[in-house]
Structure 1
Amino acid sequence: MTSSPATQAALSSKGVPDIAAGMLAATAAITPAEAGARLRAYARVHHRRPADIADALVRRTLSPRSVLAPET
């Protein structure tokens, strides 16, 4: 999968974790701080690094709704 020039520019100018937190914040109408906390919590539950979760969100191989869904 190739990224558009606009996507590449965004990734160059802002860190992937910030972009991922912004995606979560926009999806759930929560603050970026809360979005970051949710990203970290999801990573912890799934035994993954937060950076890996952020990367998957930005690459759209993981949906924001999956990260935001309550764990059961």
Structure 2
Amino acid sequence: MELELVFIPSPGIGHFRSTTAVAKLLVDSDDRISVTLIVIPSRFSDHASSSYPESQNRLSYCLLPP
């Protein structure tokens, strides 16, 4: 059975980094788990989508428009 998790970190780079770290731990711990992070850009930051880590096979990012 495949498991798909969706994480929505609070806007801000600190939340994004820690949520990504947890997602990577989960993906690395079990081949059945895949994680999608829904990224809500902060209006105070100027992060382009290229600043997000490359998606792995089971770790993906969905960048919402500002």
TM-score (norm 1): 0.30
Structure (1 or 2) with the greater strand fraction = 2
TM-score (norm 2): 0.32
Structure (1 or 2) with the greater helix fraction = 1
